[in-house]
Amino acid sequence: MTFHPRNLLLPAVIALGLATPAAATDTVKLRYLASQGGLAAHELADALGYFKDTGITFENVGYAQGGPASLIALASGDVEIGSAATSAVLNSIIGGNDFVAAYPSNGINDEVQSTFYVLEDSPIKSIKDIAGKSIAVNTLGAHLDYTIREALHSVGLPSDSANQVVVPGPQLEQVLRSKQVDIAAFGYWQTTFEGAALKDGGLRAVFDDTDVLGDIAGGFVVLRRDFIQQHPETAKIFVEQSARALDYAREHPEETKKILAKALAERGENSDIAQYFRGYGVRAGGLPVERDIQFWIDVLVREGKLKQGQLAAKDILFTADSKPASN
């Protein structure tokens, strides 16, 4: 897999909102890959001091082009924290990785969603019109990929009838305006890039993922199950404080934008786009519900990638005593 160096760069029962988290029983460094233009909730929690005196420290080891690359790094032991769309997490588990969905990285709702844009004069007006068209997405095999497949399925078209083209988030606007693609998909985690593109005008939304999926977690931050079993207190504190940061972002949007701007500047990215951050889109408390996982399990069963009953949401969502899933 390719690392992109920095420009030097639940049904779980969890008690949230602790002002002073308990210390872990050991000192653990958690390595992760950052996302261009964004800040994960654990990064925000760290910036807010939520992990102070817990024994937990973080190291950003570069960028991941998308969720699948993050999961490859997690599986290989190059990082302790992965992050990917739910569909990608499930495909990785099907492939033999024993991963646990620690907390929702983002959600989609009326305020935060992935949106599919065309140029204003485009003849594309509806989901039916995207068949045979080229769509820029950040990576294949993840949220946007599966959203497109579900959108086409919803109107009775073959799920593979659109041509997906991999384009990094910072170039989405450019490839659309230069007509290298027909449609640019800005993911729910890319609202900063979306906001900058909309400021320039001339774009029109065709549909968004809530039209297809409803209110649901878009993806998860992921831990290896063996890591949780080796460091149970560390994992618990990590999830608690990250979920706490998700609440902070919803309650303090302007302060969060300032923290994001500072982080982007330190990583050598464009800090101006932080003003377009719309939040994480997760439920109050930062906890998932079983539908967040079960929806995609059902899709994979329908596509023949899973057998009925092979996976259950309760076996994948984090609990303080997460045990091996029976798959």
Q: What is the full DSSP assignment across 175-218? A: HHHTTSSSEEEE-GGGHHHHHHHHHT--EEEEEEHHHHH-SEEE
* Residue indicated by tokens 């001339």: 202
Question: Beta partners for 82?
Answer: 222
Distances (CA, A) of 300 to 90, 138, 212: 9, 21, 16
Asked if pLDDT for residue 7 goes beyond 70, the answer is no
* 3-state DSSP assignment of residue 326: coil
Selection from 283, 279, 208 nearest residue 39 by Cα: 279
Q: Quick one: pLDDT band at residue 13, thresholds 50, 70, 90?
A: very low
Higher pLDDT, 216 or 325: 216
For residue 14, is pLDDT > 60?
no
Report the distance separating Cα 184 and Cα 11, nearest Å.
Answer: 35
Contact between 230 and 34 (Cβ < 8 Å): no
pTM for the full model?
Answer: 0.78
Distance in angstroms between the alpha carbons of the first and the last residue of the chain: 26
Answer for the pair 245, 165: CB distance below 8 angstroms, yes or no: no
**What does the pLDDT read at residue 188?**
86
pLDDT tens for 21-48 read 555 557 999 999 998 889 999 999 999 9
pLDDT digits (tens, 9 = 90+) for 72-127: 999 999 999 999 999 899 999 999 999 999 999 998 888 888 999 999 999 999 99
The pLDDT of residue 22 is 54
Residue with tokens 């889109």: 281
β-sheet with 183-186: strand ranges across: 163-166, 134-137, 183-186, 115-119, 203-208
Confidence of residue 141 (pLDDT cuts 50, 70, 90): confident
* Res. 172: pLDDT tops 90: yes
pLDDT at residue number 67: 86
Would you say residue 321 has pLDDT above 60? no
